[in-house]
Amino acid sequence: MSTLTTTLNAIQPVDQAAMAAAQDRQNNLTKPAGALGLVEDISIQLAGVQRQAKPSIGKPMVVVMAGDHGVTRSGVSAFPAEVTPQMVMNMLFGGAAINVLSKQIGAKTVIVDMGVAAELPDHPQLVNKKIAMGTGDITTEVAMTAAQATAAIEAGIDVINAQDAASFDILITGEMGIGNTTPAAAICAAITGAAPKDIVGRGTGVDDEGLARKQAAVEKALALHKPEADDALDILSTVGGFEIGGLAGAILATVAQGKPVLVDGFISTAAAMLAVLLNPDVQGYLIGGHRSQELGHKIMLDWLQINPLVDLGLRLGEGSGAALAYPIVATACKILSDMATFAEAAVSGKDA
């Protein structure tokens, strides 16, 4: 069996009995039932993921996948494509936002070259899974072949499975790739059927003309390739990106290990959609990190039925929003396990 099939087959639905037990405990903690809102919801979800009534999260791993995009030749980004390898180097030397954020939360960090259009030097923290020197320009050709699409996902699976399983208990997804909000928007349009004008946003800051070029590029790519709405591999191959495929694989492998995934912004969420298309049980393992500034992110979140934890006006990627949200996830578990119940604390309940 292929790596992808094995991984998809290993994914189980979340454990409803553990979730019911966690809900019951939440209702008996010394606070009005539901008064901790999403914090309670997350703790209950994690009970289902970890298949135990008192889940615990404490070992985050940030995986940043990098790739380049032929569509940048259509003028869809505010930054030149050379910034992708430059920012990968910046991450390897610890100067990027995600480095600071990973350190703050004590996360193990893995940087992966999935398809950067430059030769990167060997570095102990860089995992080389380069499929090609950037994707094709989706407005005139496929992003990648069908074989490359499968290879990208399986590379992502391998990145996760190569880690010591005990070294992390939650995956934080991140990415770097100049131009990658364009394929992410195309993926969203292909899956949801929403109009590109309602999805395409300013990314890292294109002006009005750049926004128009970006929207036109997504429309042209969809008209050219007509990807099947329920075929993740077809979508990834025709309008995707290597780092997006890698992230989809990383998500699948993490879920197959029975661990949750804290999803970052627009590009990571597109990858999560592909993972859910490949196995719908993935949905129960996803936690929304943040609400991106990017226009179509709400459409993605609604399709996935996930409610992000923070809304800080971010539009950076790299895993930054998910890393900022991470402490809330860890704390949600502590609330469930460590607070006193009404009976333990001899506190009176709500008036009948």
Verify binding: residue 193, a copy of itself, rule CB under 8 A.
no
Catalytic: 209? no
Q: Which of residues 278-307 bind a copy of itself (CB under 8 A)?
A: 293
| From 40, 154, 175, 318, the catalytic residue | 318
Verify binding: residue 56, a copy of itself, rule CB under 8 A.
no
State the Cα–Cα distance between residues 65 and 246, nearest whole angstrom: 7
- Let me know how long the chain is: 352
Please identify, among the stretches 82-90, 159-167, 276-284, 298-306, the one whose residues bind a copy of itself according to the rule CB under 8 A: 82-90
Q: Which of 205, 203, 241, 223 is nearest to 71 (CA)?
A: 241
Measured on CA atoms in the order 223, 229, 234, 238, is the torsion positive or negative? Answer: positive
Verify binding: residue 186, a copy of itself, rule CB under 8 A.
no
Q: Left, alpha or beta for 29 (phi > 0: left; psi -120 to 50: alpha)?
A: beta
Verify binding: residue 232, a copy of itself, rule CB under 8 A.
no
Q: Which of residues 26-45 bind a copy of itself (CB under 8 A)?
A: 29-39
Please identify, among the stretches 84-92, 109-117, 144-152, 255-263, the one whose residues bind a copy of itself according to the rule CB under 8 A: 84-92
Verify binding: residue 211, a copy of itself, rule CB under 8 A.
no
- Phi, psi for 138 (deg, rounded to 5): -65, -10
Q: Which of 132, 153, 199, 314 binds a copy of itself (CB under 8 A)?
A: 314
Please identify, among the stretches 165-173, 235-243, 279-287, 336-344, the one whose residues bind a copy of itself according to the rule CB under 8 A: 336-344
Specify the 3-state DSSP secondary structure of 113: strand
State the Cα–Cα distance between residues 172 and 326, nearest whole angstrom: 8
3-state helix, strand, coil in the chain (%, to 5): 50, 10, 40
| Residue span 101-140 as binding mask against a copy of itself, x where in contact by CB under 8 A, dash where not | x-xxx-----------------------------------
- Phi, psi for 126 (deg, rounded to 5): -105, 125
Query: Which of 192/331 has CB closer to a copy of itself?
Result: 331
Give the list of residues 6+ apart from residue 53 with CB closer than 8 angstroms, or none. 18, 21, 22, 25, 47
Q: Find tokens 């019911």 and name the residue.
A: 20
Q: How far is the CB of 326 from a copy of itself (least distance, A)?
A: 8
> Catalytic amino acids?
318
Q: Contact positions toward a copy of itself, by CB under 8 A? A: 29-39, 78-80, 82-83, 86-87, 89-90, 93-97, 99-101, 103-105, 204-205, 293, 309-316, 320, 324, 327-328, 330-331, 334-335, 338-340, 344-351
